[in-house]
């Protein structure tokens, strides 16, 4: 009696090792900025092997170095700044004169909350941060969110103005289904480093004058006329004169 020989072939797939994220992406808030994460989501796009990025300023001598959640600036003389924490979802926008940079970050996910802080570099090699979007978030809340959306706005940096003296910020109604005017946007020109609002810009004017500076996230915004309680459109007026208090 002849025996039966059975050959069993086992296919083994060897997973390739995870790669370190080293290639920064185009800015999503600002077309002039650099996005410091592989994709839009904090979890699905998480770089398993970590991230190591070098983002040069316009002078090509000052460099932001990011290693995982820690970052520092290397000055032209080779001196490094102290380390500071950078969120996963973050974007840097260098000032043209390399004297400052705006850091737009989310402490949650893609929907937010997003905020902006400015890092100012001194000739002596010091780095100081200023929270610069609070006045914008509060103004947008009073104008839009308080009446039409239960959440504070996301704030992102779009463009520097007059060197590093002013910064164009946008306030965005969070893209949540609970917000009838989600993705509605208003522009703000603020003073640096005080954050004082110097000018408000409606969305159409923002697209007309600053369209080439808007990142992919903002190009999708449209300030929709969302339905109200009686199917009446909600008007998004960034320049509306608010009544005086008291």
* Residues 6 or more apart whose Cβ sits within 8 Å of residue 24: 34, 35, 36, 53, 55
* Residues 6 or more apart whose Cβ sits within 8 Å of residue 20: 47, 49, 50, 51, 52
Q: What is the pLDDT of residue 232?
A: 52
Strand order in the sheet with 166-172: 154-161, 166-172, 185-191, 197-201
Q: What is the pLDDT of residue 144?
A: 79
Q: What is the pLDDT of residue 4?
A: 53
Q: Decide: 99 and 121 in contact? Cβ < 8 Å.
A: yes
* Residues 6 or more apart whose Cβ sits within 8 Å of residue 108: 42
Distance CA 8, CA 225 (A): 65
∠186-176-240 over CA atoms, to 5°? 25
Q: What is the pLDDT of residue 46?
A: 84
Sequential pLDDT tens for the chain (246 residues): 445 544 444 444 444 456 888 888 999 999 999 999 988 888 878 888 889 999 999 999 999 999 999 999 999 999 999 999 999 999 999 999 999 999 999 998 888 899 999 999 998 889 999 999 999 999 988 887 777 777 889 999 999 999 899 999 999 988 877 777 788 899 999 999 999 999 999 888 999 999 999 999 998 776 554 444 444 556 677 876 554 443
Cα diameter, the chain: 105
Q: What is the pLDDT of residue 33?
A: 97
∠54-22-28 over CA atoms, to 5°? 80
Whole-structure pTM value: 0.85
Range list of H helices, 95-221: 134-140, 146-148, 203-210, 216-219
Q: What is the pLDDT of residue 64?
A: 97
Q: Decide: 140 and 171 in contact? Cβ < 8 Å.
A: yes
């Amino acid at each position: 009696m002849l025996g039966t020989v059975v050959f069993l072939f086992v296919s083994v797939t060897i997973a390739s090792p995870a790669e370190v994220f080293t290639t920064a992406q185009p800015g999503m808030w600002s077309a002039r900025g650099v996005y410091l994460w592989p994709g839009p989501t904090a979890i699905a796009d998480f770089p398993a092997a970590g991230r190591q990025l070098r983002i040069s300023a316009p002078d090509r001598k000052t460099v932001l170095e990011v290693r995982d959640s820690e970052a520092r600036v290397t000055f032209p003389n080779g001196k490094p700044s102290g380390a500071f924490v950078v969120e996963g979802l973050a974007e840097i926008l260098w000032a043209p004169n390399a004297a400052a940079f705006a850091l737009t970050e989310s402490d949650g996910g893609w929907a937010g909350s997003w905020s902006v802080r400015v890092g100012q570099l001194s000739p002596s090699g010091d780095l100081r941060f200023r929270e610069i979007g609070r006045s914008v978030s509060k103004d947008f809340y009073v104008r839009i969110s308080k009446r039409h959306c239960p959440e504070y706005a996301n704030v992102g940096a779009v463009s520097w103005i007059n060197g590093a003296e002013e910064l164009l910020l946008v306030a965005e109604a969070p893209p949540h289904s609970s917000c009838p005017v989600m993705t509605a946007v208003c522009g703000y020109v603020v003073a640096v480093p005080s954050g004082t609002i110097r000018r408000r810009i409606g969305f159409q004017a923002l697209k007309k004058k600053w369209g080439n500076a808007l990142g992919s996230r903002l190009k999708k915004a449209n300030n929709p006329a969302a339905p109200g309680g009686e199917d009446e459109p909600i008007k998004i007026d960034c320049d509306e004169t608010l009544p005086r208090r008291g």
